[in-house]
Structure 1
């Protein structure tokens, strides 16, 4: 780091307020420029410039820092090194590999270790896919590296470079900093292409154009896939109070969603939760490949005891990595757990900057920051002509489960799927604790054609019908609390019985059961169709004057609730047998009442 700082601009520290440093003699520094601070050369970023005075947020612990120490310019913004080696790795909020840091310091992250990144010494088996004379445009693929057993890293021309190839290397093993291809642009300037490229975290990577999100992100979770689907390239929020299962829900989505790449950001979460991720993910077998799920996963951990400024940067680090793989043509799912901790970091830094607070002490620019983050989702045509997408799923942790607080309210404005977690459902051990009355998906209309073509023609109509039954049940339960269930007519009591099956037998899902942790769409539809079949058979009986007490067969109802466990995902014949039992029971019952 010291060699890089020769002939750089320097400033002098004169005030220290936690992670916020003020320096003088900084008129030549640039806004958002990365700097090193003090004798330990802590990593920081310029966030305010007022004449000769500059304000810096430092991404490391500032304990022991003194006034009068030097601030040194690096001449570039806070940036990531993007290349092979990101997958199967775990980083802190500014892309420093935690495994490598542990080798240097087993217990704590030491100050002043510099801006470590992906391994610069590892050699990768590289195939160059172009030849001299070829014309390369921004975003074109010029080589391939097998980054993991399941993911091929497609080496890309940087977004701001194009030209004619004048020189290439032979296929072989190279490091991420070796020059692989040289191209000459229109101005006769030579550009060297390497495996890795550097990109500022706060600047979205460009694309050719954004398309509509017409395909769902299949998660294997019934309440999401059928009732509140998320589109690939879409946005979703999972708000919920403490203990409602936000992290568990995100873990399930990270494990089972059909995205090509998973980027999981633990932003300000408890260390034990991230430890669970670190220990569990390598053991999980990816249903798509049969390999460890880490083969296609990047983990970013900035736990609650890590520097607050790095927590603020971790969100941008994650989404920049996601854009890098999107530009290769992959579908990426980004899990941010949780954006409330990120917003709290913004609030703390804003307070130290003495900015005028807005609602509940959050800075006035909180809505725009949330919007900027979710705006980086989308399905795009890449600069190289391929198709890629980023789906952003952010957990929100409102204090006391109050969804009217600023982070939840502003997130709700910018996402299209709202999966509201309910404390009462969680306490009743109903997981995922997604409240079907408060949740919604704005993608139902645009995904209808896909569901009709790939699942069943009546899939969305069936979903709407079952959701309507749940809304009717909610109204009926209010009446039951006032006057009791006995006074309800039989048709309304039948709705209550079927709604119970929908809630317990369908919406409730067991993450620890082999058959139930992930459910294919075909089985999800077949289960709901069977529940509809039971509902309609009961309605036929009601028309014959049969009371609900006779229509409800305890054995059949029990089998319906257990079919998620008893019917294998790859053999749905058990559902057909269940329908046969329904026919047999009701035919006998109907004959008794008609004769």
Structure 2
């Protein structure tokens, strides 16, 4: 802390220091008497500009700014999982012990508990050559996650000393190495990493396997790849947070990083309470055993909101480097963009569309680019998948955040308020949503689920698209004048909407559906369509077909057949054959 400067101007979270005192761009500084955390974001020969991650009310010109010599970084060590942090990785439970329900300014707490003893199994020995990414110790962090402590990237050497297995804190030396330059270096369970710098990897793999979510509209119609990017845009009350809850609970990611970025305090409280109660369906343990939460509510300082998504993605990359598949839920990137807009306004930068800064697109792309399925430095494979909620004002998808997000994600799950108000959940609309991963994932589906999976999916989507075109005609002239084959399309589309696309998060058989059941459901619906089409082709009226309750019976498959009772689908196939034979007999 040898460099200091004097504040001469304050504008909300933006603080100005006269002259160039030797601060570095991106450096973390401590501002004022209360040593508030800040970051250098602008340097000229006349002044240094700092954004402060805490409330600056009451601060005055003349107070000092202290250098730390380091960039804004996160602490990476055992203790991250099942913890709840604010936007700059301060643990909220520890802050609550000091300052109560409201975070007071200038609270200085360690990001992770430096006194806690962990059971450490050392995986290297004297004489071993280690390099950035080498796993040096394994620590059971929770019942679900084995933490693999690594040599920090950019460090290599030969182990000259290693401790025995036992209990150690995150700051105890685990191994000592001799670098190629002959220096001795102690390595602990802890790393520091600047949040705005992506962690290095060996190579990026193409998207060739899906992130399986158990949600039919996502897995079948609009899949996301492991290491992929998706946006969930939707207006207020359309189910963004609920969709992300389902993904957090059921997706086949090993670890969930949930970033509550600028959401309402009561909604974030609900998220925290829900996550603490949720049971992980895979292990039976609490879901928090493989989740970390970053809570940055709308009444917290905007600068910390801007930092929160970088904090979250850095934590995710750290666990990816251990060989885990991590899914990030960012809720919502619109609030993050609003923080950018406010800071940009304070800095008197030239505004672009709707007042957002001109660099909104590049910041969004830099965030989504950090997703991917990677080969790590230590040879393991891991992925970071990013699912970002977008909250366009008034549900207007033409606003800049949604439009720019669309440019950088390959999966767009558009929530529709008319579906939400009709209690159709998930309210993802099949006509405005898309996934560019489908062709990449098709070989995986063919090999692991069924040769006709993608073909069935395309037929299902074609029927829903056809229904939309027919509904335009129905609005003009009514449904009675449609020919029977088109009436059949409308009826089968209703079966698809209610029996396949709509999903009940609170029903034990329907909240999560494996891919083989999803395929059998499509087979059954398309078989019913095929048999009904044959009857219509023999001049059987649609009114006769609707007298049977077969369509409603097929809709109820999602509730009536449990995930481990797939043999029951044969019964439904036989039921459709009976229906066909009965109609033929009536008109024989």
Shorter-chain TM-score: what band? over 0.9
Q: 1:557 aligns with which of 545, 548, 551?
A: 551
Q: 1:107 aligns with which of 87, 101, 117?
A: 101
Aligned-pair CA distance for 1:586 = 1.1
Q: What secondary structure sits across from 1:487 in the alignment?
A: coil
**1:38 maps to which residue?**
32
Q: Which residue does the alignment assign to 1:90? A: 84
Residues 12 and 25 in structure 1, CA contact (< 8 A), matched pair in contact too: no
Residues 159-170 of structure 1 mapped to structure 2, 5 A cutoff: 159-170=153-164
Aligned-partner Cα distance in 2 for 1:317–1:210? 22
Which residue of the partner structure matches residue 69 of structure 1? Answer: 63
> 1:45–1:57: 8 Å Cα contact kept in structure 2?
yes
User: Tell me, what secondary structure is at the counterpart of 1:21?
Assistant: strand
Q: Structure 2: how far apart are the matches of 1:184 and 1:282?
A: 44
Runs of 4+ in 1 over 3 A off after TM superposition: none
Residue 564 of structure 2 aligns to a residue in which SS? coil
Q: Does 1:23 align with 2:55?
A: no
Partner Cα distance (1:130, 1:561) in 2: 57
In structure 2, the residue matched to 1:543 is 537
Provide the C-alpha distance between the structure 2 equivalents of 1:569 and 1:270, rounded to a whole number of angstroms. Answer: 36
The question of 1:454 aligning with 2:451 is answered: no
Alignment coverage as a number of residue pairs: 588
Q: How does 1:302-451 map to 2 (within 5 A)?
A: 302-451=296-445
1:475 Cα shift?
Answer: 0.4
1:114 Cα deviation (Å)?
A: 2.3
Displacement of 1:26 in angstroms is: 3.6
Maintained 8 Å contact 1:43/1:115: no
* Deviations 1:338-389 (CA, angstroms, capped at 9, x unpaired): 0000000000000000000000000000000000000000000000001000
Task: Kindly report the root-mean-square deviation, in angstroms, between the aligned alpha carbons of the 2 structures.
Answer: 1.0
Q: Does 1:254 align with 2:239?
A: no
In structure 2, relative to structure 1, the CA distance for the partners of 1:403 and 1:390 (3 Å cut) is same
Q: Matched residues in 2 for 1:576 and 1:87: separation?
A: 44
* Alignment partner of 1:50 is 2:32: no
Q: Give the superposition deviation at 1:551.
A: 1.8
CA deviation map 1:521-556 (0-9, x unaligned): 111111111111110010110111111111224522
Q: State yes or no: 1:463 paired with 2:486.
A: no
- Listed as ranges, the gaps of 5+ residues in structure 1 are none
Cα displacement string for residues 192-215 of structure 1 (whole angstroms, at most 9, x for unaligned residues): 111010000000000001011211
1:336 CA displacement: 0.2
| Separation of aligned partners in 1, 2:287 and 2:570 | 34
Structure 1 residue 116: Cα displacement:
2.9
Q: Distance in 2 between matches of 1:232 and 1:192?
A: 36
Structure 2 residue aligned with 1:213: 207
Choose which of 292, 295, 298 in structure 2 pairs with 1:301: 295
1:81-117: per-residue Cα shift (whole Å, max 9, x none)?
0010000100000000001111111221011112530
Q: Counterpart of 1:586? A: 580
Moved more, 515-524 or 419-428: 515-524
Q: Which residue of 2 aligns with 1:154?
A: 148
Secondary structure of residue in 2 paired with 1:552: helix
> What pairs up with 1:228-307 in 2 under 5 angstroms?
228-307=222-301
Given that 2:179 and 2:185 are in contact with CA atoms closer than 8 Å, whether structure 1 keeps it comes out as yes
Cα deviation code 1:552-594 (max 9, x no counterpart) = 245222222222112111112333222211111211212333x
TM superposition score normalised by structure 2: 0.99
Q: Is the 8 A contact 1:27 1:52 kept in 2?
A: no
| Cα displacement (A) at 1:57 | 0.6
Structure 2 regions of 5+ residues with no counterpart?
Answer: none
Q: TM-score, normalised by structure 1?
A: 0.98
